[in-house]
A and B are shown apart, each in its own frame.
Chain A
């Protein structure tokens, strides 16, 4: 057995160990029902901003807090408290991804990613003229 091979095997074994542990610690996608079953674990939920219910963002009181309602892909609706300032054009978002966990009957999110339909594809069918 060559020295190179021995060292290679040792390094690869260590790497596999690290990769498997970090994969097993990965957060998971889910929905509100699952989030309520495990109120202490962090989860990522894909859903839609529910426009009919109130959105509260009062920067005078706290610029880092907004609350709104979201429906997940199963259609379940839940109040969300997001610990971020309100992003530009939040109302126009098509799909949002939230990361957080359930506290009481609310979903407390620390991060949000939103997809706007018009930014990268053609959700709109309008024709603009000058």
Chain B
């Protein structure tokens, strides 16, 4: 680690990048990540990538440090770097190689997120000049239930675990690996198409980086790739200095792990001093049997997200974000889980709670900035089975928005994805045309946001009718413990999952797998966000709205 840093600083001094050239390269390098994103989105097969944009593309320096990222969802920020580091460590890459991985214990997040990494070589050079990578959420990666978000108790039940392996070697597809991968997933055709799209995006990114170094000079590009993270680190340090120094602690609980453990605590202590932050998760529960464990990559992403929000929108996303921040997460805990714990929900649920707990702690440091708890769940719904009308297997995954937590300046948004996700909904007219499902209603859960000087946003109610026998998994949070308000604001309403079968509705758990028959319905009601500030007088128009 030390040696690498030394190497970096030695090279940085060789070419000086002035503050203008740096901004020019900021544009140029970000453009490459963006272009990869455009290419991936447009050639992908699954609605999950095209319609929901559950992917990201990024550019790395020769040592695997993140230089630029086009991320549509924050949970990929910061965690992709760990994938690239793992790929480099495990599988040194020759020209034309592409490494594939998803192992949460070797740089991945959860199994459906498949990351591809390729080196970028300049002509006549023997070592990679940099790396390009992308990560896409595949709608199925095998495992116990379709959609690969099962309520498992160890990772091997969650799907195919891929350590860093060469998918492409010296420009040739490694068909053995591809076949093994496809044989372990449910909708193989779609998987193949999405992988091809990921590969096409990598090729474009690599070509563009080579072109840029040809145009602007290899040394200058290399210097910019090191200077950009240093610049981001300066911005982050400056942002941290603006917050009142001190030690801030908070605690909150996960509802349950889906395997019997209730009220699983996440505790954090944030120490702010001299433009640096130490985020210490000691006191957080040990890893649990159910699949809500977060590995270190996910926890890192959640912490970075919080600090990026505090630093402001325009801060370039790269390895420098991490520089002034230190994360202490006890190994084997809920926020730094070890093999073989199950992690499908860590990425989507626990990551959201880590954000809320951090904000809760920081609410005392920066009450003029920090919002109340958001809906606190991505409200995951995955389903699969045999589509009897279209004569094919299907697997479908979606996340359902909730209410945002209110902040110091205005009432919060309703029906919106918050914090670690920003994926789009699948259009009803696209969904019904492709899968044996019908959406019965899709509405805002009025009054579910916590009241306060500023109201928390309202959650959503989405009711789905099944037109084929299937297996459905609902993986949700905040069904037991409500999203908190801050500064005297009231908590948001808890979510509620209901199942209509055999002629009547019944309430089901927050994390549950259901066997559904034709005509059965599942209704997911998502939580509202917490309110902000004490409400001065009761508002009479509440009755009306």
A and B, one complex?
A: no
Residues of B within 8 A of A (CB): none
